[in-house]
Chains A and B, each alone.
Chain A
């Protein structure tokens, strides 16, 4: 299975080769070698076990999902590593590749504007492919595994559901969702192009916008296009769309109506949170005279809130230099993250919603100790099973966060950089504050590996990875 995955992935080296060919830049060889290496690795994993025909079951799902990111993370690093132009260490190459595939968008490369087009394109494409994988995993596999209360969504996903066989379900779902993903990307690219970007930038940015990644082809990120407000508006719209549950897009597309959005409680909370935080940011920016023009204040406030709230991580201005509590507020917003079943990171709006409701219920229970109260989402009462799973998820998230932050500080990082780096990676956001505001280049190698781990564990919703660490999992 993994062998096939690698072979499929090796095909991903072909478009950059094409790009390299078009622009006649120096990246061609690196991608050719990478193609060969990954293809051979894939075949050599696949060949010895090619006759082992076995349906994958629930338990294999965990290993598959973890391996997906680990193996592809390594494979994706090959072009970075062998490219003479980049001269990256192994650590940096893996960091960049994992950051791309998990759609985090944290980078260790500075001087993006001088890089060959093929490598730039490859980075954007990594995010796009990562997003593709995330959608399928988030919509089809996670509910099956029941991570953090997501068994709730089992019934909501399209595709055959009855049995626990993974394969047919994944293919079916994948096809439907990829159509949506693809059309969003095309729409986004066209809109960017119409708003004034060059075709190359438009495609590149549409890749990283729809996947909620946040890589850019310029050092200044979206700030490069600050003179084109339309670009920012397009970005806001498509980040918003990609932060919504893709099953919802699917339903809306099938029934040709937008009513589904309005009926979904997660969508409503998602929009509400972003509106509230945007208002606070814009008002605070205007009030502290960061922007003299109210329109600019609103545009930047909304852009930065949506970018960080959905965990994309594009920046227009240096938000980390914004006054007082705004950067921290925005970072905390990224903990809530996007909707379930989207390419975004964070705890997910749905879980946040459940936690709020449960918190209220506990308070009500104190007032009426004998009342039987159930938690409802969209009119359906939820079982305690689901709620406990969400609690467990929340606590594990915080515990992992605290541990990673302490380890980073152990490597000599100051508190704010460590805090923001952990936030930015575990929520798959991207840019942090202070030492990690622009790039993660200056960190120790150990710190980079810890952050790679943090990106993967965040992307895998914590538990998928933690399960593999329990001895019980491997028994039998």
Chain B
């Protein structure tokens, strides 16, 4: 174990992260909203701790191997969430549990909030929340595209070959740097064009930038209590839908499309096709049910709301324009279930990921065929590529652990006094990094107890780190040697 190297790299992360505090500081100066000191203190604390970490282990050979990757990734999210919560503790006088929850929610691009009067917050703090989600999204892309495949998380080793960048060895650093550069350009381009589209559709530049930050990262924070309903505008909803969808696609595919200057890359990608079909199906189910139930007066209106809500939830963004928790019969639960599918691998979305669901379904069907022809030899193929058994069993293990963690967290929340519907939806929404739930947590998580907030913050990080990264750290075998 290379614990010194891990601390050193954390120091570097903190130093880089402290740069993220500069924009809120500038905003605070510009708007004179009295938050300057808050951000300066945070800057000092973050930068200071980062420097201390880094300086103390400056001379360690910083080459990190696969084994340390787990610890770095887990520490990254926990430590940065804790530091990012500071401005909320100092400025907004939130209890630490609330601040940690809010920061973890921002950083994992979940979008669940404990703050009740968002409109009343100072502009710089508002911007800071949105920015955290955006930064979290950046981290996630690198994590999902470059780091997790190397770690071999839940069958994701199969993406190793697909990612650009040097691959031969198991050294993490050069690979991450290279990937980061490529993908961040795409990420920024998407954010920029989105902000522009918002402005054209009539948002103020401040809101446009803020919302583009949280849309592309499939986060779901808003600068208003009413969220996107503040604008009540169809064009804005459509822009949001498009970019949520784009944010939930595999960034490697965006990269390919950009490299070849053609949209064929999307159509050739099996995961994209399945994702599109799933989204379309759920939208239709919702729209038809809403129409039959006459929740909305016209089919057009039903379609509009179900399209927005479905995309928002399945991509784990979690914007709400309609109170979907009050939709008739099975729709709320259907939507929550759909967030378990989540977006594509290598995106900022949460959930189990479409490619894993595809593998599970294919393998499940094969099991049935095997019952009919017990001697049959089969292999799971997607788009002509054969997936080895080690990948499949990785996916199975991932799925089972997902379910197990879900049940344990659900029981813990209920033991902490929540009712079943609230607990069910709170765990689902946090584990899938989505945002809003049902019951008590439809709008925000303010009313929960401290211990429940910690459990949910933990769920968000667990879900974001694809569960196993974290569980590995709990295995005694990891620390031996």
Q: Say if the beta carbon of A223 comes within 8 Å of chain B.
A: no
Per-residue 0/1 for A349-363: is the Cβ within 8 Å of any B Cβ (1 yes, 0 no)? 000000100111111
A399 and B471 CA atoms in complex are apart in Å by 25
Out of A360, A384, A473, which one reaches B372, CB within 8 Å? Answer: A473
Stretch at the interface among B139-147, B310-318, B330-338: B330-338
Give chain A interface residues in 451-476, CB to chain B under 8 Å. Answer: 463, 466-467, 470, 472-473
Tell me, yes or no, whether A268 is within 8 Å of chain B by CB.
no
Cβ distance B365 to chain A, nearest Cβ, rounded Å:
8
Q: Tell me if A147 is interfacial: C-beta within 8 Å of chain B.
A: yes
B472 within 8 A of A: yes
Tell me if A415 is interfacial: C-beta within 8 Å of chain B.
yes
Contact of A463 among B333, B360, B371 (CB under 8 A): B371
Binds B, one of A114-122, A172-180, A186-194, A322-330: A322-330
Say which size band chain A's interface belongs to: 35 or more
The residues of A that contact B369 with a CB separation of less than 8 Å are 470, 472
Binary contact readout B324-360 vs A (1 if CB under 8 angstroms, 0 otherwise): 0000011011100100000000000000000000001
Q: Does B79 reach chain A (CB closer than 8 Å)?
A: no
Q: A319 interface residue, CB < 8 Å from B? A: no
A391 and B411 within 8 A (CB): no
Closest to B398 in A: A362
Are the C-beta atoms of B472 and A366 separated by less than 8 Å? Answer: yes
Specify which chain B residues have a CB less than 8 angstroms from the CB of A62 in the assembled complex.
371
Cβ A398 vs Cβ B403 within 8 A = yes
Known A147-B371, A324-B414, A328-B411; contact A387-B400, beta-carbon cutoff 8 A: no
Contact A416–B421 (Cβ < 8 Å): yes
Q: Please, which residues of chain A bring their CB within 8 A of the CB of B456?
A: none
Is B234 an interface residue, CB under 8 A from the partner? no
| A415 CB contacts on chain B under 8 angstroms | 332-333, 420-421, 424, 438
B364 within 8 Å of A (CB atoms) = yes
Interface centre among A362, A466, A470 (most CB of B within 10 A): A362
Min C-beta distance of B477 to chain A, whole Å: 5
Q: Assess whether A466 is in contact with B393, with CB atoms less than 8 Å apart.
A: no
**Which residues in A have their C-beta under 8 angstroms from that of B394?**
362, 365
Given A398-B403, A406-B330, check contact A364 B477 (CB 8 Å).
yes
Is B249's beta carbon under 8 Å from chain A? no
| Interface residue A412 (Cβ < 8 Å from any Cβ of B) | yes
> Known contacts A384-B393, A463-B367: does B333 contact A329 (CB below 8 Å)?
no
Is B371 a contact of A146 with CB atoms below 8 Å? Answer: yes
Q: Is B279 an interface residue (CB 8 A)?
A: no
B192 contacts the other chain (Cβ, under 8 Å)?
no
Main secondary structure of the interface of A (DSSP, over half): helix
> What's the minimum C-beta distance from A270 to chain B, rounded to whole angstroms?
18
Instruction: Report which of B329, B368, B417 forms a contact with A324, defined as CB distance below 8 A.
Output: B417
Bound-complex Cα distance A405 to B399 (A): 20
Q: How far is the CB of B391 from chain A (nearest CB, A)?
A: 11
Minimum distance in angstroms from B339 CB to a CB of chain A? 13
Partner of A388, one of B393, B401, B471, B472: B393
Whether A409 contacts B333 by the Cβ 8 Å rule is yes
Could you tell me if B393 and A362 are in contact, using CB atoms closer than 8 angstroms? yes
Q: Which of B70, B393, B438 is close to A358, meaning CB atoms less than 8 Å apart?
A: B393
Query: Which residues of chain B are within 8 angstroms of A405 by Cβ–Cβ distance?
Result: 333
Q: Is B455's CB within 8 Å of the partner chain A?
A: no
Residues of chain A whose beta carbon lies under 8 Å from any beta carbon of chain B: 58-59, 62, 145-147, 324-325, 328-329, 332, 355, 358-369, 384, 387-389, 391-396, 398-399, 402, 405-407, 409-412, 415-416, 419, 463, 466-467, 470, 472-473
Known: A409-B330, A415-B421. 20 other contacts (CB 8 A): A59-B372, A325-B415, A328-B410, A359-B400, A366-B151, A366-B152, A388-B389, A388-B396, A391-B393, A392-B367, A395-B360, A395-B396, A398-B403, A410-B329, A412-B329, A415-B332, A415-B424, A419-B424, A467-B368, A467-B372
Could you pull out 8 A-B pairs where Cβ atoms are within 8 angstroms?
A329-B414, A360-B475, A365-B390, A388-B393, A388-B396, A405-B333, A463-B367, A463-B368
Residues of B within 8 A of A (CB): 66-67, 70, 151-154, 329-330, 332-334, 337, 360, 363-364, 366-372, 374, 389-390, 392-394, 396-401, 403-404, 407, 410-411, 414-415, 417, 420-421, 424, 438, 468, 471-472, 475, 477-478
